[in-house]
Amino acid sequence: MAFPSKSSSSQALKFTYGDYRNLPDNGARYEILAGELLMSPSPNRIHQYVLLKLAKYLDEFAERHHAGQIFIAPFDVVLS
């Protein structure tokens, strides 16, 4: 697997979405923020409990007001 490399001009290492897509599917949680590769731990029990309660509330609101859809499963989001 190839990752971006620093040039001789000491430019900062910048990861791209393509680099992210080539990361191993090993269960680790990766994200790229401003070109920097970050790895975060899995959420804890309390986080998951709060997420469930919040998602339930938001989903009920969205349904009542026809205001879109709520997703809680992990999936890629690209902001540009």
Structure confidence at residue 59 (pLDDT):
97
Q: Within a domain: residue 2?
A: no
Structure confidence at residue 3 (pLDDT):
55
Structure confidence at residue 4 (pLDDT):
56
Residues 47 and 37 in one domain: no
Q: Within a domain: residue 80?
A: no
Structure confidence at residue 13 (pLDDT):
84
Residues 38 and 51 in one domain: no
Number of structural domains the chain divides into: 2
Q: Where are the beta strands (DSSP E) in 1-80?
A: 29-33, 36-40
Low-confidence ranges of the chain (pLDDT < 50): 1, 6-10
By residue range, what is the domain housing residue 22?
12-42
Residues 18 and 34 in one domain: yes
Positive or negative: CA dihedral 49, 34, 78, 28: negative
Structure confidence at residue 74 (pLDDT):
78
**Position 4, amino acid:** P
Residues 37 and 23 in one domain: yes
